[in-house]
Chains A and B, each alone.
Chain A
Amino acid sequence: MPEIRTETMTVNMGPQHPSTHGVLRIVLELDGETVVSASPTIGYLHTGIEKTTEQKKWQQVIPLVERMDYLSAQSNSMAFCLSVEQLLGIDVPERVRNIRILIAELQRINSHLVWLGTHGMEVGAISVMLYCFRERELLLNINEMLAGFRMFPSYMRIGGLREDLPRGFHDAVRAFLDRLPGKLDEYEDLLSQNEIYLKRTQGVGVISKEDAVAYGLVGPIARAAGVDYDVRRYFPYLGYDTYEFSVPVQTRGDVYARYQVRLAEMRESLKICRQALDRISPTGPFAIDDPRITPPPKDRVYTEMEALIQHFLIYSQGFTVPAGEAYVPVEGPRGEHGFSVVSDGTNRPWRIKSRAPSLLACQALERMIVGGLIADVIAVIGSIDVVMGDVDR
């Protein structure tokens, strides 16, 4: 009788795999059901946004950076604006700072809801997806009300915001803030004690605290492993140090810990949103009063020669930014991100580099799935919340 020969099997997962959140391809080597090695391949969504921005004027970059990490669009544009404002040496009014915080936190909830929905669906809890997208719809409605655009509002501007808050904004946000806590309880009822969910997530995709730091992991993944790094606490920006909130940290570093961290983060974001909403007056300054950067109001453009000239200058040649380099980190839904901005003193950026938390998460993926089962690969990819637009840019 011939000897039984065993060999590993190579499986190509992706790039068109529904659970890879875009076009991520992983070549897996399997021994039975165990993953022996994994090599992620990326770049299928590389659109060269960083190169494109070098041809644009400073304000024109904002819609582009929003399309990088498409689940945290407003957080991206805010990070970009902060870096450029640092180079310009300007400080936005306090009302703008609070509005930006409110918008960024709503964006975080939005992103986490999408994450929870898709992650739940991937491990077999399809109803969670339907519930999460129901609440997310409300956030998209708020975006639509704010800027007329649901996914990429381009509401942030260098020097402030595009326009003042719309009428009824406070009521819409407050209605959402009152509604969500009960819904979060519903999601937890569906998952937190769910035997199938626990079996699929506990002890899966573990990464240690040391590895998390060494691999540059930040945000919920690192906090689930016990690294309490949160940019809002470590390097406060926009006045986050005046807000009361806590940073949820877990220690086990598995998929379930990441789920717990993100759910707790949504509750903390709600707290910040409430505080911010109380501080924001319904009307007031929405941009810095600087004729070089902020276009004049429309009624003045139509009636005054100087305002028309100023309007024309800002929209035709833009404004120049002093030569230098700046990077302002912010805490996005996926952890520290920001834009390393280099200016040569002209009206177009010399170089813009986005710090992509998803790229590093993708790199560490191999470390989390090797040695586990192939069925867990999907759960792990879901739990690190990669957005391929952010990975490839």
Chain B
Amino acid sequence: MSDHAALVASLQQEVPGATVEAAPTVDLQTTIYASRDDVPAVARALRDRPELRYSLLAELTAVDYHPREPRFELVYLLVSLEHRHRLRLKVRLPGNDARVQTVTAVWPAANWLEREVWDLFGIVFDGHPDPRRLLMPEDWDGFPLRKDYPVQIKMTPRASEPLQVTEQEFKANLERDRLTRS
């Protein structure tokens, strides 16, 4: 399936009305662009069609092309173990509405990878089972891998809130704890 045209035709047969276009590459991976509304259907077709069988999601990441529009590109690197092929599936996302459907139902491996993309790029994955930050602290502001995120600027250090108990309360708590245990 290294043939671009056959791949695109095969996808359009499975997902009618899908806009899939081929793109040139310098490396091993055939590259195709899909529009973001088709992502779950295209993903399922890529995994399930017998002549494709891209069962391994090797990588899911994003690139920020700020200030160009559409600003973000999602990159899915897929491997077909059966046919020994690699594919790069790309999705363009606009900067003011960076959201896409999750593919965790197709490839469970996408769970943490999508969380990482949300964490570092602020791209929303609709329907994600656990949409929390992955690498940064949960109360972090901003998305570090965006190109307009400030770098090498001194930020004021923040400490987490101290525990709001008085000394007496603290001792009483200790005492009560000790009583229940014995």
Contacts and interface: CB of A to CB of B under 8 A. Distances in A.
User: What class of interface size applies to chain A in its complex with B?
Assistant: 35 or more
A340 interface: yes
B122 to A, nearest CB: 14
B84 A326 contact: no
B63 A342 contact: yes
B151 A216 contact: no
A227 B80 CA distance: 12
A7 to B, nearest CB: 14
B63 A214 contact: no
A214 B61 contact: no
Interface residues of B, number: 38
B26 A51 contact: no
B77 A355 contact: yes
Interface string A43-54: 100101011000
A55 interface: yes
Contacts of B135: 42-43, 46, 392-393
Interface in A50-67: 50-51, 55
Contact of B29 (A229, A327, A359): A327
Nearest to A363: B112
A310 interface: no
A325 B74 CA distance: 13
B144 A42 contact: no
B137 interface: yes
Contacts of B145: 50-51, 351
Interface of A: 42-43, 46, 48, 50-51, 55, 83, 86-87, 89, 213-216, 218, 227, 229, 234-235, 324-329, 336, 340, 342, 350-351, 353, 355, 359-360, 362-363, 392-393
Given A43-B134, A227-B81, A324-B25, 5 more contacts: A86-B26, A216-B109, A218-B56, A234-B79, A342-B63
The 4 A-B residue pairs whose C-beta atoms are closest, nearest first, are: A216-B109, A43-B135, A46-B135, A363-B112
15 contacts: A43-B134, A46-B135, A50-B120, A50-B145, A51-B144, A51-B151, A213-B56, A215-B109, A234-B84, A325-B88, A336-B58, A350-B63, A351-B64, A353-B61, A359-B113
